[in-house]
Amino acid sequence: MRKLIITEKANAARRISTILSDGKSKSESGKDVTVIKFEAGGDEYTVVSLRGHILELDYPEEYNDWGGISPVDMVYAEPIKKVKVKSILNKIGEFVKTSDEIIIATDFDREGELIGMETVTAVNADLSKVKRAKFSALTKGEVEKAFSELTEPDKKLADAAEARQIIDLSWGAVLTRLVSLSSGQVGKNFMSVGRVQSPTLKLLVDRHEEIENFVPVPFWNIIGKFGMLAFKGVHVKNPFWSKDDADKVMSAIADAKTGKVKAYTVSMKEEYRPAPFDTTMMQVEANKIGIPPSVAMKLAEDLYTSGYISYPRTENTEYPKSLSMKGVLEKLKDSEFKEEVEEILKQDKIVPSRGKKRTTDHPPIYPTAGASSDKMKGDKWKLYELIVRRFLATVGPNATAEITDCEIEVAGETFKADGYVQKDPGWKKYYKKYLKSAESRVPKLNVGGEIEIRSKNLEESETKPPYRYNQGSLIQEMDRLQLGTKSTRHEIIGKLFSRNYVEGNNLIPTASGTALTKSLEKHGGGITEPEMTSKLESDMIDISEGNNTLTEVVKESQNMLFVVAKKITSEKEQFGEDIRSALRSEQFIGLCPTCGSSMTIKKSKNGKFIGCDGYPECARAYPLPRGAMIQTTETACPECGLAQLKIIRKGMPPVIQCIDPKCKCNTEKNNLGLCPTCHKGTIRIMFSKGGRRFAGCSEWPKCTQTYPLRPRGTVAPSGDQCAVCGAPEVQFNGHRECINPDCDTRGGKTRKTPVNKATVKKTGTKTVPTKKGTSTKTKKEIA
């Protein structure tokens, strides 16, 4: 018999061929199409690989005219399948004609079923010849079993996936057009709407709103330092929400010189190893070391195709039994992790950790070959190392820590001190690059003994707003809400950026992103809610289990969409106006003092700038600050009356400043003093394109004097020059120092090199137990 096997990706074609042919398969792969042939058990096999979906749902051409066709009329429009990769489909068409059996061997999931079915349907294959091989890992056992127990293809499962396609396209296309047309954003500036992107955007909008509306609540912590080590003890009633209550305690303990140890226990804590990497956690951890999810996926794909790591798109956090941990470790001996690997191999037994998520699509991400940092460079190496170290951590021993709990009584008030000391670092030894250590020592104490009080402080703090999402935490939240899939989440975030809905490293929605979300919340029929995805999910389960049909589910959804589309159409003007005004406010800076026209943000080939709409008659223009996120404001500069901008820079609080860099309000705070090199120019605070600040001479390029500035904290002029080197002295975080890091007053040449961006840690934010996200802000010394 002649048998045709269709796989989802090239690697699967290779693995299956090798397994079924006992290694005797021959690849005839062309440039575009992977084809492998072999004989086994008297049958002639041809294996062809797809590249995921090679067909795509879209509307027929007559719907291409956005202006000419009412979006309402598209609700029930019938989409067609368009061929994306003709070369593969043609090849399969040829082989199908001469095959007696066609075996779909795509991934064993909903999309896999559809990918297979849509392909055989598109080439008009005789469906009675079509069989399905179901395997959940590309191991010898699984694959052989799947091919010896072929089943019928599951039309219902494929239907479930197809229902999703149709519903996503109709809601997406109809609402995208309605929003774009009503807001006047057509052409390449169109505004998109979708089942996944719109709820994701709403997460950011909601968080932004929470932060903007946040009202800080003050609280007080009483903190003591004890004994020779001056270890920290905190009052058990922290935080105090009333200053009076805290003051009462402070005066009660005011005269105490010693405390009494009431309780003291030491215990060992076992610290478990982290779970193996699935795609989400890999993206989260990569993001922490400065590799955003989209870059991480690109690099992971690269590492996968060149054989360094396993398949990077997986939801699994449990290594399959068939995967030998020792085997992986042996391969890693051929790398610069050799010593660490050998140490791990010395364990009596190697039992890996496992996570909660268990699926059968692919194994967790693990290294499949050794590499070294002199051959592999940059972020690729950083990601590879992360994957290797994560793997090592999952097969290393547990860590142990010594935990000390201690209670000290001071004048009838109770303080608690917690000690944490790492004993056996275990797996952390291999993963410490990516961990924060937080050791705190409490010495050995005797219960009933006295202990000296070193200090008693009342620290005033206030509750803090929740953190903004970054790309890592957003991906985690999407994962939790089941928005998108492991393969698409990073692309969805990319979409929010390219549509200008969000900006910044910490994701902030733009005015238009916010306005769009608000309008859709009101009129979008639930498109901004994650529940639309959960409803779809349960509908798909119903279809695949035969409790509902594709036709019914699609019809129900489109009936809803029809109502929504009609309503929006009837209120089109009003619906679009909110978005239009948000778009205007995003661009509008203020009125031009020369000609009275609007000044707006404009784009040139050198980037964005502020220009007068009266151009070319009026040429008034201002540069925009570099390397920063800019928001427009409605306030005017008290100095010159021009408009002000809100400047948001990484690691710094937002600053409101005048659009004119020459305005006194800007020069005063940026001019640090006379240049000690040329004695002509002024040393000013400036920003590089990347947003890093430094100080440089205004006579540049004639004078090239520059100084690095500490990346965080406030820098202000002091008006004085350094007595030792003559460079300007500045106020840094309230204290004075010479701007010159090489100056003797700052320890001369012992200066550390500037901190690498990726390794900058967030400044300490210690949380208070009862309220979320609280942190210490100001200190008041009392004792």
Partner DNA sequence: GCAAGGTC
Which structure tokens are listed for 443?
Answer: 């010495």
Between CA 30 and CA 32 the distance in angstroms is 6
Report the interface residues with DNA, using CB under 7 A: 8-11, 49, 51-54, 56-59, 63-67, 84-85, 107, 109, 111, 115, 164-165, 168-169, 171-173, 176-177, 180, 186-188, 190, 192-198, 301, 305, 313, 484-488, 491-492, 495
Q: Let me know if 148 is exposed, middle or buried by CB neighbors in 10 A (0-12, 13-18, 19+).
A: exposed
- Would you say 484 or 673 has its CB closer to DNA? 484
Q: What is the DSSP letter of 663?
A: S
As measured in angstroms, the least distance from the Cβ of 386 to DNA is 19
As measured in angstroms, the least distance from the Cβ of 358 to DNA is 17
Between CA 139 and CA 290 the distance in angstroms is 35
- Would you say 535 or 650 has its CB closer to DNA? 535
Which structure tokens are listed for 509?
Answer: 């929605």
Give the other-Cβ count within 10 Å of 634's Cβ: 9
- Would you say 279 or 632 has its CB closer to DNA? 279
As measured in angstroms, the least distance from the Cβ of 568 to DNA is 14
DSSP, residue by residue, 139-158: SHHHHHHHHHS-B---HHHH
- Would you say 59 or 687 has its CB closer to DNA? 59
As measured in angstroms, the least distance from the Cβ of 564 to DNA is 15
Between CA 493 and CA 499 the distance in angstroms is 10
As measured in angstroms, the least distance from the Cβ of 725 to DNA is 54
Query: SS3 string of 396-413?
Result: CCCEEEEEEEEEEEECCE
Torsion of CA 661, 665, 670, 676, to 10 degrees: 100
As measured in angstroms, the least distance from the Cβ of 526 to DNA is 13
Between CA 657 and CA 636 the distance in angstroms is 9
- Would you say 359 or 414 has its CB closer to DNA? 359
Of the candidates 261, 268, 267, the residue with the CA atom closest to the CA atom of residue 445: 261
As measured in angstroms, the least distance from the Cβ of 183 to DNA is 11
Of the candidates 656, 771, 778, the residue with the CA atom closest to the CA atom of residue 215: 771
Q: What is the DSSP letter of 188?
A: G
- Would you say 193 or 564 has its CB closer to DNA? 193
The tokens 């204290």 sit on which residue?
735
Find out whether 339 and 358 touch, Cβ atoms under 8 Å.
no
- Would you say 279 or 335 has its CB closer to DNA? 279
Q: Is 161 left (phi over 0), alpha (psi -120 to 50) or beta?
A: alpha
The backbone torsions φ and ψ at residue 158, rounded to the nearest 5 degrees and listed phi first, read: -65, -40
Between CA 488 and CA 728 the distance in angstroms is 51
Looking at the DSSP bridge assignments, the partners of residue 413 are 410
Which structure tokens are listed for 747?
Answer: 């320890």
Active site residues: 311
Between CA 657 and CA 230 the distance in angstroms is 44
As measured in angstroms, the least distance from the Cβ of 185 to DNA is 7
- Would you say 187 or 764 has its CB closer to DNA? 187
Query: What is the dihedral sign for C-alpha 367, 370, 376, 381?
Result: positive
As measured in angstroms, the least distance from the Cβ of 625 to DNA is 30
- Would you say 66 or 700 has its CB closer to DNA? 66
Find out whether 383 and 301 touch, Cβ atoms under 8 Å.
no
Cis preceding linkage at 465, omega within 30: no
